[in-house]
Chains A and B, each alone.
Chain A
Amino acid sequence: MFWLHLRNELWKLFGKKRTYIGFGAFILAQNGMLLMFRFTRWQKNWERVLAGNGYLAQDYLSALTVALVMLIPQILLLMPLYTALVGGDLVAKEAEDGTLRMILSRPIARFRLLLVKWLAGIVFAGTLVLALGCTALGFARLWFPWRGMFVYSLWPEHIFNLLTPGHATQLYVCAHLLMTLNASAIVGLAFMFSCFNMKPAAATILALSFLFINVVLEHLPFFEPYQEWFLLYHFRVWLLIFADPIPWDRIMGSLLVLVAFNLTTFLAGTAAFQARDIKS
């Protein structure tokens, strides 16, 4: 029965057009960035950085390099927005539409209902990240060859690395697994708010506000010694997987924090929902 409930939850989630807004926005943004990289000074600047460090640009300006360039701003800006949008809808939209009352006239435990909804949210997060990674690589491959990867990032983490195509592909997959955890944490955060008695938009806005406050506080000089207390510090581990050497201790620590954050938001949401009166 659990799998049947989960399957039905996925039908509900992927049956509505709203769910696909994020996918569409990502595809548009990816193509926009790709065109910018290809036809502005951006590409030339990267060639200069590579040449300045003694590497041949044609060996490293590849589909993998450009895919990663396209991903960074999208992960920072678009992913929180669309995952929070879906997470905020998970419970609050059903309550607003009245379907939650229809469900809760059935002998299903509230905990189980929320568990399948939360898992469906995580499946959505995984699907979005997978689609994001595949389309970024696919579109980049249309314009650039399959060669080594050049990782060059000054923000949010300082990374400079050159990788062979095989190793780069492995790390690219790993990075997406880590990104799924980030996306799940945002879905979980919005899901938690949506378990309270509020509109779906309010749940989404609260989740985004939480992330925004994290960003602001994290960048205040006063909070510099307390960076590890901010969620976004842990969100950056997906990029650290490309560093040389890979900081496994920090990655593992952040992974644990993210898993704990996911469980905490789920349990907090469940506790609030359990005590709530569902009325029309």
Chain B
Amino acid sequence: MIQLRNVYKQFGDRLAVEDLTLTVPAGEIYGLLGHNGAGKSTAISMMLGQVWPTSGMVRVCGHEVTSHRSQALIKVGAIFEAPAFYDYLSGARNLQILSSYTARTPRGRIQEVVEWVGLAGRENSKVKTYSHGMRARLALAQALLPHPELLILDEPGSGLDPEGIHEMRQTILRLHQQLGLTILLSSHLLHEVEQLCTRIAVLNQGRMVFEGDLSATRQRVQWVRLKVSDFSTAVTTLREARLISDHRDGCLVALSEGASSHQLVNLLVHTGISVHEVAHEQHSLENFYLELMGGKRAKN
């Protein structure tokens, strides 16, 4: 659905995106991760033909964006971090205006989408009277109006309260399941991405540092929380026995390949170190992300 090949984008002296190659297959919920300034929004802007790549190829829905932008975006809906509207006009008028840039939209379709996103009854109020959550729903409505096949969401949960984030998450899942949309979700809310996405790409300083299935992030190093009488002696002992490959935070150890927590406990008890607690650390995306970023920072 989306293909980027060796894409570079330079703003003055700053290289915002460097040699970015990624493919978003149809039917996926694809997460684009990275901290602020990592290049996520620039990458999305290039997919939408708002920012021109310095070099490389950007294809959306089978069309090259730089040369055939209009064809590429016909079946695309997008939502940005802070959706902007004409506050002095009604929600319905905003939808009418924004959808007209894709195609003429019948009133019935606008009403249908307004009801789908839960804005029925408020569509004729001026947007300046809308709450943040209602603006988010209006943003979703405008993205859905042209019957998209691909939805690009740039930080959609930003600024929403927990209830709003939950609602947005449920809506994204509904869109994926009921309408079969391909969704590209850019976020730095790792928990969100973990719950929604099937595949992710991680950007750091404009470069892609990981691309793969979300499950792959869980198959990496297994961390064990270890509470013992003397952590540093325990680490030395376990390293000598090659049972662990790393340690951090004064209580976490990374199991070596093939090692188990059972072996850890046995060795520590035999060495006379009291073991108070052993627990497998849940390997969340957050751990993976921090590991990845930590590793990159160390390299830099």
A residues at B contact (CB < 8 Å): 1, 4-5, 8, 11-12, 15-17, 97-99, 101-109, 113, 275, 277-280
Q: Given A12-B89, A15-B88, A277-B50, do A108 and B41 touch, yes or no (CB 8 Å)? A: no
Interface assignment of B72: CB less than 8 Å from any CB of chain A: yes
Please give, as numbers and ranges, the residues of chain B lying within 8 Å of A1 by CB-CB distance.
Answer: 100, 103-104
For the complex, what is the distance from the CA of A99 to the CA of B98, rounded to whole Å? 9
In the complex, which residue of chain A has the Cβ closest to the Cβ of B93? A11
Interface residues of B in 62-101 (CB under 8 A from A): 69-74, 76-78, 80-86, 88-89, 93, 96-98, 100-101
For the complex, what is the distance from the CA of A108 to the CA of B269, rounded to whole Å? 70
Contact partner of A11 (CB less than 8 A), chosen from B41, B71, B76, B89, is: B89
Contact partner of A15 (CB less than 8 A), chosen from B52, B86, B146, is: B86
In the complex, which residue of chain A has the Cβ closest to the Cβ of B72? A107
The answer to whether A105 touches B83, judged by C-beta atoms less than 8 angstroms apart, is no
The answer to whether B104 touches A104, judged by C-beta atoms less than 8 angstroms apart, is no
For the complex, what is the distance from the CA of A104 to the CA of B44, rounded to whole Å? 12
The answer to whether A106 touches B98, judged by C-beta atoms less than 8 angstroms apart, is yes
9 examples of A-B residue contacts, CB within 8 angstroms: A16-B88, A98-B84, A99-B85, A104-B50, A106-B102, A107-B73, A113-B101, A277-B51, A278-B51
Q: Given A107-B102, A108-B70, do A11 and B88 touch, yes or no (CB 8 Å)? A: no
The answer to whether A107 touches B69, judged by C-beta atoms less than 8 angstroms apart, is yes
The 4 A-B residue pairs with the shortest CB-CB distance in the complex, in nearest-first order? A98-B84, A106-B101, A105-B78, A107-B73
Interface residues of B in 87-134 (CB under 8 A from A): 88-89, 93, 96-98, 100-104
Interface assignment of B142: CB less than 8 Å from any CB of chain A: yes
The answer to whether B42 touches A279, judged by C-beta atoms less than 8 angstroms apart, is yes
Q: Given A102-B142, A107-B70, do A279 and B51 touch, yes or no (CB 8 Å)? A: yes
The answer to whether A8 touches B96, judged by C-beta atoms less than 8 angstroms apart, is yes
The answer to whether A107 touches B97, judged by C-beta atoms less than 8 angstroms apart, is no
Q: Measured between C-beta atoms, what is the minimum distance from A110 to chain B in Å? A: 8
The answer to whether A102 touches B85, judged by C-beta atoms less than 8 angstroms apart, is yes
For the complex, what is the distance from the CA of A12 to the CA of B98, rounded to whole Å? 11
The answer to whether B85 touches A105, judged by C-beta atoms less than 8 angstroms apart, is no
The answer to whether A109 touches B42, judged by C-beta atoms less than 8 angstroms apart, is no
The answer to whether B73 touches A105, judged by C-beta atoms less than 8 angstroms apart, is yes
In the complex, which residue of chain B has the Cβ closest to the Cβ of A99? B84
The answer to whether B48 touches A104, judged by C-beta atoms less than 8 angstroms apart, is yes
Please give, as numbers and ranges, the residues of chain B lying within 8 Å of A107 by CB-CB distance.
Answer: 69-74, 76, 101-102
Please give, as numbers and ranges, the residues of chain B lying within 8 Å of A11 by CB-CB distance.
Answer: 89, 93, 97
Please give, as numbers and ranges, the residues of chain B lying within 8 Å of A278 by CB-CB distance.
Answer: 45, 50-51
Contact partner of B48 (CB less than 8 A), chosen from A98, A99, A105, is: A105
The answer to whether A102 touches B98, judged by C-beta atoms less than 8 angstroms apart, is yes
Q: Given A16-B88, A99-B85, A105-B78, do A277 and B52 touch, yes or no (CB 8 Å)? A: yes
Contact partner of A102 (CB less than 8 A), chosen from B49, B76, B84, B96, is: B84
The answer to whether A101 touches B104, judged by C-beta atoms less than 8 angstroms apart, is no
Beyond A99-B84, A277-B52, 10 additional contacts (C-beta under 8 Å) are: A4-B104, A101-B50, A102-B98, A103-B98, A104-B50, A105-B48, A105-B76, A107-B71, A109-B70, A275-B52
Q: Measured between C-beta atoms, what is the minimum distance from B135 to chain A in Å? A: 11
The answer to whether B42 touches A4, judged by C-beta atoms less than 8 angstroms apart, is no
Give 1 or 0 for each of B46-58: 1 = CB within 8 Å of chain A CB.
0011111000000
Please give, as numbers and ranges, the residues of chain B lying within 8 Å of A97 by CB-CB distance.
Answer: 84
Please give, as numbers and ranges, the residues of chain A lying within 8 Å of B73 by CB-CB distance.
Answer: 105-107
In the complex, which residue of chain B has the Cβ closest to the Cβ of A96? B84
Contact partner of A277 (CB less than 8 A), chosen from B11, B70, B77, is: B11
The answer to whether A280 touches B78, judged by C-beta atoms less than 8 angstroms apart, is no
In the complex, which residue of chain B has the Cβ closest to the Cβ of A109? B70
For the complex, what is the distance from the CA of A105 to the CA of B139, rounded to whole Å? 12
Q: Measured between C-beta atoms, what is the minimum distance from B87 to chain A in Å? A: 8
For the complex, what is the distance from the CA of A249 to the CA of B51, rounded to whole Å? 47
The answer to whether B45 touches A279, judged by C-beta atoms less than 8 angstroms apart, is yes
For the complex, what is the distance from the CA of A11 to the CA of B52, rounded to whole Å? 30
Q: Pick from A12, A97, A105 the residue with the most CB of B within 10 Å.
A: A105
In the complex, which residue of chain A has the Cβ closest to the Cβ of B98? A102
The answer to whether B84 touches A101, judged by C-beta atoms less than 8 angstroms apart, is yes
Q: Measured between C-beta atoms, what is the minimum distance from B79 to chain A in Å? A: 9
Please give, as numbers and ranges, the residues of chain A lying within 8 Å of B98 by CB-CB distance.
Answer: 102-103, 106
Please give, as numbers and ranges, the residues of chain A lying within 8 Å of B84 by CB-CB distance.
Answer: 97-99, 101-102
For the complex, what is the distance from the CA of A60 to the CA of B230, rounded to whole Å? 108
Please give, as numbers and ranges, the residues of chain A lying within 8 Å of B41 by CB-CB distance.
Answer: 279-280
In the complex, which residue of chain A has the Cβ closest to the Cβ of B42? A279
Please give, as numbers and ranges, the residues of chain B lying within 8 Å of A98 by CB-CB distance.
Answer: 80, 82-84
For the complex, what is the distance from the CA of A101 to the CA of B101, rounded to whole Å? 12
Q: Measured between C-beta atoms, what is the minimum distance from A279 to chain B in Å? A: 6
Q: Measured between C-beta atoms, what is the minimum distance from A277 to chain B in Å? A: 4
Q: Pick from A11, A99, A107 the residue with the most CB of B within 10 Å.
A: A107
The answer to whether A12 touches B45, judged by C-beta atoms less than 8 angstroms apart, is no
Q: Pick from B48, B100, B146 the residue with the most CB of A within 10 Å.
A: B100
For the complex, what is the distance from the CA of A16 to the CA of B48, rounded to whole Å? 28
For the complex, what is the distance from the CA of A101 to the CA of B80, rounded to whole Å? 9
In the complex, which residue of chain B has the Cβ closest to the Cβ of A275? B52
